[in-house]
Structure 1
Amino acid sequence: MPVERLETRIARRYGGLSHKLREAADYVIAHPVEVATRSLRSISASSSVSPATFSRLARALEFDSYESLRELSRQVVGAQIVTFSEKAAQLRAPGEGEAAMLDRQVGACMSNLAALTQEIDRTQLQTAVDRLAQARRVMLFGAFASHGVAEHVAYLTNYIQADWTVVSHTATPLAASLETLTPEDVFLVITKTPYARRAVLATRMAREQGASTLVLTDSHACPALMHADIGFCVPSDSPQFFSSYVATLALMETLVAMLVSQSQDDVSEKIRLVEERNERLGDFWAD
């Protein structure tokens, strides 16, 4: 069984925390090793947050005590030791220049994938798949770089079902599309730091319409999570100036694969028919 991510637990409740509790939560996320290994008094001195506030945070996160929170942090840190050492090995560049950059980038991606595999809530993952499978329609929205990921996933799912659509990032189509959502629909949002304002507001509006909301992001502090029925914080670390989408793509493709595997329909026949129509339309190069 994978160890539950402390960040996942915090993300689910972050929107309802007070300013002081958010400060404590941010410190816990940013300093997992210190929380796991140092006393509460020492953590309080380093963070300028009172011990009582950390204790209140633990209760707000539904732990029996701060010590229970600390124990989960220890387990998560322990589970990550191999991952961190592997990442360090990957980042040891053999030399300067492009080869070293490749090692750094691939090493970061491998670390993100390892963290995703170890830390994701498998029960929540299955719940997300079930909601997507039962939905009358799935509407995807990704602003900026996330838009391309949404397009990729919609392309894959349209081989097996025609009710996944990508909402345009322009103003009128998004507003009009949100108005059509019902409690039978799922609104799936992909957003990374810095978070698109429209992604946050659209998630809130979709929930107000009664639709199920599914958010894929990169931090417990993402404001869209407070409007999410299901949220995933996907590792997106990168040595570059941009966030990495490798782990996010892996998660999205896993969702599609799980939908296919548990479908009661003849998925192979659907895919065959789509491929046949592609061939008749001459969509792909043929000698």
Structure 2
Amino acid sequence: DVPQLNSAQDVLALLERRLASFTPELKKAAAAMLEEQTAIGVSSARQMAKLAFVKPNTMVRLAKELGFKGYDDLRGLFQEDIRRGQLGGGFEDRARWLQSLSRKGELGQLYADLANVSIKNIETTLAATNQVEMQAAARTLHQAKKRYMLGVGINHALAESFCYLADMASMPIEPIPRFGSLAIDDLAHAATDDVLIAITFKPYRREVVTAVEQARRQNLKIIGISDSPASPIVLGADHGFVVDTETPQFYTSIVATMALLETLMAFVIAEAEDDVITEIEAFHERRHRLGIYMGEKNS
């Protein structure tokens, strides 16, 4: 009986178990698959056959031997695992997969996948938290004497955006690291009444994890945002939020993180004193007065 194969790892495990029983040609094809696992999802039967030094039909025969209708069905499992980040050495494998979609004229499917996964990421992220946790984090920010926010790489823009919105509401948050500085140096004078918001995703950035560890030693409150409850910046945080970052792209998706931060900012405003509305109005009035905005006042 052919076992149920639901993932690339299932296929690889079956290949290992059956390798010794294959004919010499099938054995070469199977060995190539085991050695070049990330190539399967982005390679045609002809390309894989070239790696294995066998004929393309041998790759098809191997797929059928494993219970698939053909090589493309087998490859589909590997493509799905690459898309989910569950197979491969990293972002470069997803980049190769994206290029393979273009060569095969399947960009319409990519468009649909991106839309679906973005919506799913937001839904699962917000479903994983609740208004009580959001309100608690917002209150911690309000009660802090000084606030810091750390996001590097792809998360730097998220941190800057959140700090910009907070400043508009007269709740200043200092984005770190400052230009030419290190995050741990920027936290040197932080104290117990202060709070650090930190963001990092796999593979976790060392400077973010190190800064969070330093902040803990200085008894700062920590708001950690990451992609796993086991993340070193979420584990043990005063407020930890786990976001879904799944994407067919070659980089981590930040769509759900942006939604989470926008939600947190909404709670920050909701928990603020009444004069925050006056502060926001004054901010925009000044910009209109200085001619920063074009067109009508509400444009």
* Alignment TM-score > 0.5, same fold: yes
Q: Does 1:237 align with 2:246?
A: yes
1:64: which partner in 2? none
2:108: which partner in 1? 99
1:248: which partner in 2? 257
Higher helix share: 1
Structure 2 distance, partners of 1:270, 1:96, is 52
Structure 2 distance, partners of 1:158, 1:245, is 22
1:146: which partner in 2? 155
Deviation of residue 160 (structure 1)? 0.7
Of 223, 227, 232, 2:232 maps to 223
Q: Does 1:157 align with 2:166?
A: yes
1:114: which partner in 2? 123
Structure 2 distance, partners of 1:162, 1:131, is 12
Q: Is the 8 A contact 2:229 2:235 kept in 1?
A: no
SS of match in other structure, 2:233: helix
Q: Does 1:185 align with 2:178?
A: no
Deviation of residue 205 (structure 1)? 0.7
Q: Larger RCO: Structure 1 or Structure 2 (Cα < 8 Å, ≥ 6 residues apart)?
A: 1
Structure 1 distance, partners of 2:262, 2:295, is 27
Q: Is the 8 A contact 2:138 2:268 kept in 1?
A: yes
Over the aligned positions, Cα root-mean-square deviation in angstroms equals 2.2
Deviation of residue 206 (structure 1)? 1.1
Deviation of residue 258 (structure 1)? 0.9
2:72: which partner in 1? none
From the CA coordinates, give the structure whose radius of gyration is larger. 2
Of 131, 134, 138, 1:125 maps to 134
Deviation of residue 225 (structure 1)? 2.6
1:265: which partner in 2? 274
Structure 2 distance, partners of 1:98, 1:282, is 43
Structure 1 residues 275, 181: closer, same or farther in 2, change over 3 A? same
Deviation of residue 248 (structure 1)? 0.8
Identity percentage of aligned residues:
29
SS of match in other structure, 2:248: coil
Q: Is the 8 A contact 1:149 1:249 kept in 2?
A: yes
Deviation of residue 96 (structure 1)? 4.6
Deviation of residue 209 (structure 1)? 1.4
Structure 2 distance, partners of 1:226, 1:218, is 11
Q: Is the 8 A contact 1:234 1:247 kept in 2?
A: yes
Gaps of 5+ in 1: 1-94
Letter paired with 2:137 = A
Gaps of 5+ in 2: 1-103
